[in-house]
Chains A and B, each alone.
Chain A
Amino acid sequence: MRKPLTIRTIQALIRFALLVLILLIQQVILAQDKGALKCGTDFEGGIPYIFGDKDDPRSLVGFEVDLLAALEQELGRPIDRKHAAFDSLLPTVRRGDVDFVMNGIEITVENRKQADFTRPYYLYQLQLIARGNETRKFTTLEDCEKLKLRVGTLNGSAAFRVLDATDDIVTKGYDDQEGPFKDLVAGKLDALLFDVPIALYYVIQDNKIEHRKKDFPGLKLVGRPFAEGQYGIAVKPGSDALRAELDAALGRVIQSGEMKRILTKWHLWSLDQYQLYDEPAVVASESSGLAFGQYFVLLLKGAWVTIQITIVSMALAVALGLPLAMMRLYGPLPLRWLATGYIEFFRGIPVLLLLFFLYFGLSELIGVNLDAMTAAILGFGLNYAAYEAEIYRGGIQSIPLGQWEASASLGMSSGLTFRRIILPQSIRVILPPMTNDFIALFKDTSVVSIISVIELSKQYQILTKTYGQFLEIGLTTAALYLIMSVPLGYLSRYLEERWGGKAM
């Protein structure tokens, strides 16, 4: 017998839920009362901002680490560091996951749409970097434009926007600091544009500079630093009390000479930095939001890249899958092992790793420099070939043995039987999972951004990181994905009917 839920039990449940809720809220309030501030920062933000010590990667060092320590002193409150990827720092503070974020975040118009900023704590400039053996002469952005150079920098940085605003420079955005340096050395880029601190630690061959990056020798600074800007601490919009508190603390760190001491220790002090003392009015590089037409064209370009990668990789996978399946099914022993090994290997490793290997690893290992698009197509093609091979195998094996025997009894060879009788029938079984894979691949392609291919999702990220406008650009991107994948779904259903309908 089931007891009906009486009103009394419902009330008891509600009361219990309320109690739990109150306890939870208390817990949260208590935690805040302790006075610790949560600071969001990218632990892999890189030299010289914040990075893992070479000798003890668990302990973080960098000039911002020192600044945080000084702030702790001045605020009289402990600061807990929380990791978040560089791109997501501003959204993180906006959501309120942390109290403030600090990681070489530039005080720009766009960034100020997402968060409020304190007074600046460092004045940066941008610096061009080239290979030491570069023979072409370029020292300014205009030179780069004339030569139509490929220039790399960090996504979402001020340098990115500066490059993107030019007409003829091919801008390549990266999520990590190392990537563009690797690509410059490998010849996949002609130049880099970075904030001076980064340029300093990666290029200057001065052994006195501690923590200097030694992996990329033979680079040089070209031209003078330009495009001045400011780093500031970002807080959630409207949290004026916290901002005032931080402003005051920063002011004391600067006035006391502690800021100068820290920057000098990290070789970042220059006469310009005296402006910090004046609490300068925020000068932000001028640029407004994008019009629909402007970002739509960029998103379309991204969508086209997505389509290209999807179609060519899938074609490769479908073409490669069949011989793999046949080797696994009918090959002599060594070939069968080879095919099985291939399938297990490529199904077992993440595509991400494969893309990294093809793009960076190959050039380091055997000097083969694949361009990013080729690496992406090859990576997905090889990876999906393993899956398609198994789909083929399942389809082929689903055809009853009797069909082989009937064909054999008519004198047909096994090759002819496979081609004319077995494969056409198995298409019916093969097609549905294969079209599924096609649609999955279509969405999987967003991974390729890690090797600096800019497809649709990446283009969305870049645009929103640079210009904000999350809602409209996001909706447009989603609409583009839908416009592409819905017909894909129809196509697959059509194919299933067209090819599958004929068989039993």
Chain B
Amino acid sequence: MSWSITLTNVTKKYGERTILDDISLTIPAGETVAILGPSGGGKSTLIRCVNGLNTFDAGEIEVGPHRVGPTGPKGVITRIRQSFGMIFQDFQLFPHFSVLENITEAPIRVLGERPALVRERAMLLLKRVGLADRATAYPRELSGGQKQRIAIARALAMNPRGLLCDEITSSLDPEIKTEVLNVLEDLKRDGMTLVLVTHEIGFARRVADRVVVLCDGRIIENGPPASVLDNPQSERMAAFLKCVMG
């Protein structure tokens, strides 16, 4: 059901600056991985490379049965996107569509599924994220936490083999974060591959199977939360943690 992700010697540059420096990383199917690291460390760039929103300069990325290099091919990138959802910090719901239309758009238009079927599934998903009563609302009528849960439902409607989440709780109030985090925990229980870029150390510790720390385009830590967070191997990690924990 779920897919694994493997990065092999991935390098990404912006001009002279190396943003991802020869990254190799394997995320087994069904695992929940938290990606931590200082701002500008390359976390967003990494997961955007996985679903082709960013190109990269060298190396190879494997997502489930698909394999892409720096030059695509484009068809394969589209395939990966259809089966690996992505959630953004700023939701990016479609403002001119109702909640239900936001969710059904891609399955109907991209996968060519029957609208009635998709709508049924969408209602189930809305129930799952606790927003069954907001199907006809428009995004502007929702709170941040509700928007983010709709964004998750929208990604789930494609029956994805995994989700990439880029700081999806960062712009939410602390009380509201839990609504969204609960949904993620629920997905983890289902065995979905989850890649979570996050600053929520507590959540990472509780939910992640593994923590990867990116700093200056390199992986400086990669291991179970307990060892990475409580017993950091590198000095930089210790410094980072000190900084984050205050």
Q: Which residues of A contact B (CB under 8 A)?
A: 400, 402-403, 405-413, 416, 420-421, 424-425, 502-504
Which residues on A sit within 8 Å (CB–CB) of B82?
A: 410-411
A409 touches B109 (CB 8 A): no
Other A-B contacts than A411-B81, A420-B109, A425-B95, 11 sampled, CB-CB below 8 A, are A403-B92, A406-B86, A408-B52, A409-B53, A411-B82, A411-B106, A411-B110, A413-B78, A425-B94, A425-B96, A502-B96
A413 to B109, CA, bound (A): 10
Known A-B contacts A411-B106, A411-B158, A412-B110; the reply to A406 vs B96 at CB < 8 A is no
Is B240 among interface residues, defined by CB-CB distance under 8 A? no
Which residues on the A side are within 8 Å of B138 (C-beta)? 502
Q: A410-B110, A412-B109 are in contact. Are A421 and B88 (CB under 8 A)?
A: no
Contact A405 B92, beta carbon cutoff 8 Å: yes
Query: Is B219 at the interface (CB under 8 A from chain A)?
Result: no
Name the B residues within 8 Å of A408 (CB-CB): 52-53, 81
B150-166 near A? 1/0 per residue, CB < 8 Å: 00001100100000000
With A402-B88, A420-B105 known as contacts, the answer to whether A410 contacts B95 (CB < 8 A) is: no
Give the residues in chain A near B83, CB-CB below 8 Å. 411
The residues of B that contact A400 with a CB separation of less than 8 Å are 92
Q: Which residues of B contact A410 (CB under 8 A)?
A: 81-82, 85, 105-106, 110, 154-155, 158
Contact indicator per residue, chain B 116-149, by CB within 8 Å of chain A (1) or not (0): 0000000000000000000000111000000000
Number of chain B residues whose Cβ lies closer than 8 Å to a Cβ of chain A: 28
For the complex, give the distance between the alpha carbons of A409 and B152 in Å.
12
Contact pick for A405, options B53, B106, B155, B158, CB 8 Å: B53
Is the CB–CB distance between B109 and A503 below 8 Å?
no
Kindly list chain B residues whose C-beta atoms are within 8 Å of the C-beta of A412.
105-106, 109-110
Shortest distance between the CB of A414 and any CB in chain B (Å): 10
Given contacts A408-B81, A411-B81, contact A416 B109 (CB under 8 A): yes
Name B63-112 residues within 8 Å CB distance of A. 78-79, 81-83, 85-86, 88, 90, 92-96, 105-106, 109-111
| Selected contact of A503 from candidates B78, B81, B90, B96, CB within 8 Å | B96
* Chain B contacts for A413, CB-based, 8 A: 78
A-B contact pairs, 17 of them (CB 8 A): A405-B53, A406-B86, A406-B94, A409-B86, A410-B82, A410-B154, A410-B158, A411-B81, A411-B83, A411-B110, A412-B105, A413-B78, A416-B110, A420-B105, A424-B96, A504-B139, A504-B140
Seen from chain B, the residues whose Cβ lies within 8 Å of a Cβ on chain A are: 51-53, 78-79, 81-83, 85-86, 88, 90, 92-96, 105-106, 109-111, 138-140, 154-155, 158
Residues of chain A with a CB closer than 8 A to B53's CB: 405, 408-409
**B85 x A409 contact (CB < 8 A):** yes
Q: How far is the CA of A421 from the CA of B93 in the complex (A)?
A: 10
Picked from A402, A403, A411, the residue with its CB within 8 Å of the CB of B78 is: A411
On whether A421 and B94 interact (CB within 8 A), knowing A405-B53, A504-B140, the answer reads: yes
CA distance A43 to B177 in the complex (A): 81
B66–chain A nearest beta-carbon distance, Å: 12
A424 CA to B102 CA, complexed, in Å: 14
Top 8 closest pairs, chain A to chain B, by CB: A411-B82, A406-B92, A409-B86, A410-B106, A504-B95, A411-B81, A402-B92, A411-B110
Measured CB to CB, the nearest residue on chain A to B78 is A411
Q: Give the distance to chain B from A496, nearest Cβ to Cβ, in Å.
A: 14
Query: In angstroms, how far is the closest chain A Cβ from the Cβ of B163?
Result: 10
Nearest-neighbour CB distance to chain A for B55, whole angstroms, equals 13
A410–B78 alpha-carbon span in the complex (Å): 9
Closest to B53 in A: A405
Complex Cα–Cα for A413 and B139 (A): 23
Bound-state CA distance A420–B109 (Å) is: 10
- A405 CA to B51 CA in the complex, in Å? 10
Question: How distant is the Cα of A409 from the Cα of B140 in the complex, in angstroms?
Answer: 22
Bound together, the chains give a CA A1 to CA B85 distance in angstroms of: 69
Known: A410-B154, A421-B94. A405 touches B88 (CB 8 A): yes
Cβ of A421 to closest chain B Cβ, rounded Å:
6
A504 vs B106: C-alpha distance when bound (angstroms): 21
A423 to B111, CA, bound (A): 21
Docked pose: A408 CA to B51 CA in angstroms: 9
The distance in angstroms between the C-alpha atoms of A416 and B105, with both chains bound, is: 11
Which residues of chain B come closer than 8 Å to A405, judged between CB atoms? 53, 88, 92
Chain B residue with Cβ nearest A402:
B92
- Closest chain-A Cβ to B34's Cβ sits at a distance in Å of 20
A402 touches B90 (CB 8 A): yes
Of all chain B residues, the one with the shortest Cβ separation from A425 is B96
Would B81 and A406 count as touching, CB distance under 8 A? no
| Least Cβ–Cβ distance between A149 and chain B, in angstroms | 57
**Nearest neighbor of B151 in chain A, beta-carbon distance:** A406
Q: What residues of chain A lie closer than 8 Å to B93, measured between beta carbons?
A: 406
State A502–B110 Cα separation when bound (angstroms).
24
Which B residue sits closest to A400, measured CB to CB? B92
Q: Please give the distance in Å from A398's CB to the nearest CB on chain B.
A: 13
Residues of A within 8 A of B88 (CB): 402, 405-406
Alpha-carbon separation in the docked complex, A488 to B78 (Å): 45
Q: How far is the CA of A1 from the CA of B107 in the complex (A)?
A: 73
For B51, give its contact among A407, A409, A420, A425 (CB under 8 Å): A409
Residues on the A chain within 8 Å of B106, using CB: 407, 410-412
CB neighbours (8 Å) of A421 from chain B are 94
Distance of A356 Cα from B51 Cα, bound (Å)? 55
- Could you tell me the distance between the alpha carbons of A403 and B90 in the complex, rounded to whole angstroms? 10
Point out the residues of chain A lying under 8 angstroms from B52, CB to CB.
408
CA distance A459 to B92 in the complex (A): 55
- Which of B78, B83, B92 has the most C-beta atoms of chain A within 10 angstroms of its own C-beta? B92
What chain A residues lie within 8 Å of B111 (beta carbons)? 411
Chain B residues with CB under 8 Å of A411's CB are 78-79, 81-83, 106, 110-111, 158
A416–B109 Cα distance when bound, in Å, is 8
| B158: A residues at CB distance < 8 A | 410-411
CB neighbours (8 Å) of A502 from chain B are: 96, 138
Task: Determine if A503 and B154 form an interchain contact, defined as CB atoms under 8 angstroms apart.
Answer: no
Compute how far the CA of A416 lies from the CA of B94 in the bound complex, rounded to whole angstroms. 14
- Please measure, in the bound complex, the distance between the C-alpha atom of A130 and the C-alpha atom of B140, giving whole angstroms: 70
Q: Which residue of B is nearest A406, CB measured?
A: B92
Residue of A nearest to B138 (CB): A502
Of all chain B residues, which has the CB nearest A411? B82
CA distance A413 to B52 in the complex (A): 13
Determine the distance from Cα of A503 to Cα of B139 in the docked complex, in whole angstroms.
Answer: 9
Residues of A within 8 A of B109 (CB): 412, 416, 420
Q: Which residues of A are found within 8 Å of B85, using beta-carbon distances? A: 409-410
Instruction: Give the distance in Å from the alpha carbon of A42 to the alpha carbon of B55 in the complex.
Output: 70
Chain B residues near A504 (CB, 8 Å)? 95, 139-140
B235 to chain A, nearest CB (A): 36
> In angstroms, how far is the closest chain B Cβ from the Cβ of A375?
39
Taking CB atoms, residues of chain B closer than 8 Å to A424 are 96
